[in-house]
């Protein structure tokens, strides 16, 4: 009799587990230059009026979570993103209603040891001489400067060991109902990194910003408004 | 009946090739092998033999090792290599740490080692042979059918098996035992000059690390590093057909760089000093010049900085790799 009860209990337990409905969220990133999608084969004009083209951009997001009726659910620890070969972070989560996204732009130093040992992520390493850790973003390109072509390189990361990563929580204006497979796209407006409260002009951006805490601070302040759903 | 079945089963097991365990240097990323060509001892041994065997060439005188010599870290000291009919138009790249490379050749026209191995056989300025002829010669050879049997469990030879064996062998060419690695492991120390070079390399003063970073000392990306205002060789453009890629070539690894001269895709520089002179004040502007390089224009290195950088680059040499593979054939 005792054995029968144990078997019944185990069966009910597994039956219960199986019946928790699941959904798949496909987390994507879209890069914007102002209101238009970033064009890697064309030019844009940034808020300072620089006509520029992007040759290369890549970034790391981390600690990506969704808030639903039962609290926060992790959808990924890290996501490397490069629009030349765009990745999607796919996760199975409990089906239900979700209203907020929480993530970190970049990597918290406390997570450095957990960054995946892949070529993409390793290429984001930030040299020990400059504080160690990982680039949050590499954004490189050229711009027109009084008739000649100059380069810009917005390399964001833990300058001198200071954590400039940005943790954001975005409350959705709509209720995401995850019941099967649902796309969730994080929009990142690159122009917001350069605009307010600190106007940044490529013409006056120092050639090297990886050891410049002042610039890293300014861009971190600007980037607070760069993210939306 | 049961006895016979067991007997056959045992034979099959005994004939199965032995999986190879890669010895991966500390801190290197894991190796991602294609699931349909996992390295085995027998496959590697076969690939090794094929790599050094001139049977792959039309005249029976040229092997892969003719242009990728183990004594030169599997590169060629000559600016261009001499093949079956004429010389190559690009410098022969050194071969090591290929297991981590997502693309091959200076312009990336192959996306796997198996894919890469298809090209040199039929290149007229390389081995100059047809694949049909190569397969026929290997099939008629006294030794090879048995080696293919051991590696792939079939005496029937085709170009897929040949390229798989070559790829398996080349994945074992791993170099990660330089002084730099000993310093990272706290088993050695840089000299003052080497440390100075290391610091220039890894800060925006030199800004070498953005293209030659990580333990592999390359980001495997394609860049125009300012060799010519009008590139004579279109490089990566020949693969992508995107105008933005004109004059771009793959960033090579700087490991063993002291022993893999001449440098650049066309071997135009014969010393590291010439390379540093280029980055110091020889960069030519062009439409596709890499922003990292463009940003460095007018930031000349002092002679002391160049000396320090060369001292650091010398710490990337791994003589044990050369010794091991000189003994191997």
Give B8-54 pLDDT, tens digit per residue: 444 444 679 999 999 999 999 999 899 999 999 999 999 999 999 99
Check if the beta carbon of residue B99 is closer than 8 Å to that of residue B27: no
Q: Is the pLDDT of residue B2 over 60?
A: no
Is the minimum CB–CB distance between B30 and chain A shorter than 8 Å? yes
Strands A181-189 vs A22-33: parallel, antiparallel or unpaired: parallel
Residue A134 has a pLDDT of: 98
What b-and-e string marks burial along B40-49, b requiring 16 or more CB atoms within 10 Å of the CB?
A: bebbbbbbbb
Q: Which of B222, B291, B308 to mutate to test the interface with A (most CBs of A within 10 A)?
A: B291
| Cross-chain CB nearest to B294 (options A117, A138, A150) | A150
Q: Is the pLDDT of residue B143 over 70?
A: yes
Is the minimum CB–CB distance between B286 and chain A shorter than 8 Å? no
Strands B222-223 vs B249-250: parallel, antiparallel or unpaired: antiparallel
How far apart, in whole angstroms, are the C-alpha atoms of residue A134 and residue A120? Answer: 11
φ, ψ (nearest 5 deg) of residue A186: -90, 120
Can you tell me which residue has the tokens 């980037």?
A223
Question: Residues of chain A with pLDDT > 90: what percent?
Answer: 80
How far apart, in whole angstroms, are the C-alpha atoms of residue A53 and residue A123? Answer: 22
Q: Is the pLDDT of residue B106 over 60?
A: yes
Closest CA to A112 of A163, A65, A168: A163
Is the minimum CB–CB distance between A153 and chain B shorter than 8 Å? yes
Residue B10 has a pLDDT of: 42
Is the minimum CB–CB distance between A141 and chain B shorter than 8 Å? yes
Residue B328 has a pLDDT of: 58
- Which chain A positions have a beta carbon within 8 Å of B102's beta carbon? 119
Q: What is the pLDDT of residues B185-201, one digit of tens each?
A: 999 999 999 999 999 99
Residue B52 token pair:
């050094």
Banded pLDDT at A69 (limits 50, 70, 90): confident
Q: Is the pLDDT of residue A10 over 80?
A: no
A-B contacts (CB, under 8 Å): 72
Residue B4 has a pLDDT of: 42
Q: What is the pLDDT of residues A178-205, one digit of tens each?
A: 778 889 999 999 999 999 999 999 999 9
Q: What is the pLDDT of residues B71-100, one digit of tens each?
A: 999 999 999 888 888 888 899 999 999 999
Q: Count the residues in chain A.
A: 229
Q: Count the residues in chain B.
A: 329
What's this model's pTM, rounded to 2 decimal places? 0.91
- Taking chain B, what is the end-to-end CA distance rounded to the nearest angstrom? 46
Closest CA to B63 of B76, B54, B74: B54
| Cross-chain CB nearest to B291 (options A127, A152, A211) | A152
Residue B125 has a pLDDT of: 87
Average pLDDT over residues A214-219: 97
- Which chain A positions have a beta carbon within 8 Å of B100's beta carbon? 119
Is the minimum CB–CB distance between A39 and chain B shorter than 8 Å? no
Residue A20 has a pLDDT of: 74
| DSSP string computed for B267-327 | --B-SHHHHHHIIIIIPPP-TTB-HHHHHHTT-PPPHHHHHHHHHHHHTT--HHHHHHHHH
Residue A4 has a pLDDT of: 53
- Which chain B positions have a beta carbon within 8 Å of A207's beta carbon? 204, 295-296, 299
Which residues are CB-contacts of A26 (< 8 A; sequence separation ≥ 6)?
Answer: A88, A89, A90, A181, A182, A183, A184
């Amino acid at each position: 009799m005792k054995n029968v009860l144990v078997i019944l209990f185990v069966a009910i337990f597994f039956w219960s587990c199986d019946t928790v409905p699941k959904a798949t969220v496909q987390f994507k990133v879209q890069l914007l230059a102002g209101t238009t999608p970033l064009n890697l084969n064309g030019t844009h004009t940034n808020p300072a009026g620089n006509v520029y083209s992007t040759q290369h951009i890549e970034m790391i997001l981390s600690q990506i979570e969704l808030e639903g009726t039962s609290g926060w659910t992790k959808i990924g620890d890290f996501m490397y993103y490069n629009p030349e070969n765009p990745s999607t972070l796919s996760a199975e989560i409990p089906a239900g209603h979700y209203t907020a996204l929480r993530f970190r732009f970049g990597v918290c130093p406390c997570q450095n040891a957990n960054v995946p040992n892949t070529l993409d992520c390793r290429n984001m390493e930030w040299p020990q001489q400059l504080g160690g850790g990982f680039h949050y973003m590499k954004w490189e390109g050229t711009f027109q400067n009084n008739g000649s072509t100059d380069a810009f390189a917005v390399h964001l990361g833990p300058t001198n060991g200071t954590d400039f990563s940005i943790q954001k929580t975005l409350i959705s204006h709509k209720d995401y109902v995850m019941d099967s497979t649902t796309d969730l796209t994080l929009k990142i407006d690159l122009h917001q990194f350069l605009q307010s409260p600190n106007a940044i002009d490529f013409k006056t951006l120092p050639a090297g910003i990886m050891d410049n805490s002042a610039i890293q601070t300014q861009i971190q302040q600007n980037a607070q408004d760069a993210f939306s759903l | 009946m049961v006895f016979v079945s067991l007997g056959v089963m045992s034979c099959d097991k005994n004939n199965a090739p032995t999986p190879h365990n890669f010895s991966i240097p500390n801190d290197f990323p894991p190796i991602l092998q294609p699931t349909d060509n996992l390295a085995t001892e027998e496959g590697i041994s076969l690939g090794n033999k094929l790599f050094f065997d001139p049977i792959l060439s039309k005249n029976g005188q040229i092997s892969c090792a003719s242009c990728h010599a183990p004594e030169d870290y599997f590169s060629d000291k000559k600016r261009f290599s001499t093949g079956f009919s004429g010389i190559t138009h690009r410098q022969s790249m050194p071969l090591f740490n290929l297991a981590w490379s997502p693309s091959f050749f200076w312009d990336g026209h192959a996306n796997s080692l198996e894919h890469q191995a298809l090209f040199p056989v039929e290149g007229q300025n390389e081995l100059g042979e047809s694949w049909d002829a190569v397969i026929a010669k290997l099939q008629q050879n006294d030794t090879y059918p048995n080696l293919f049997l051991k590696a792939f469990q079939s005496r029937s030879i085709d170009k897929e098996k040949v390229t798989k064996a070559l790829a398996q062998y080349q994945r074992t060419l791993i170099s990660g035992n330089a002084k730099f690695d000993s310093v990272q492991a706290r088993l050695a120390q840089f000299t003052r000059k080497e440390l100075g070079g290391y610091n220039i390399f890894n800060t925006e003063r030199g800004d070498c690390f953005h293209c030659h970073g990580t333990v592999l000392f390359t980001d495997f990306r394609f860049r125009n590093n300012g060799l010519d205002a009008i590139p004579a060789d279109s490089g990566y453009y020949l693969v992508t057909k995107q105008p933005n890629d004109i004059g771009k070539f793959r960033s090579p690894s700087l490991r063993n760089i002291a022993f893999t001269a001449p440098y650049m895709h066309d071997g135009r520089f014969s010393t590291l000093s010439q390379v540093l002179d280029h980055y110091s004040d020889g960069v030519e502007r062009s439409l596709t010049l890499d922003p990292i390089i463009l940003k460095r224009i007018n930031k000349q290195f002092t002679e002391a900085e160049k000396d320090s950088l060369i001292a650091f680059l010398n710490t990337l040499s791994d003589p044990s790799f050369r010794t091991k593979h000189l003994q191997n054939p």
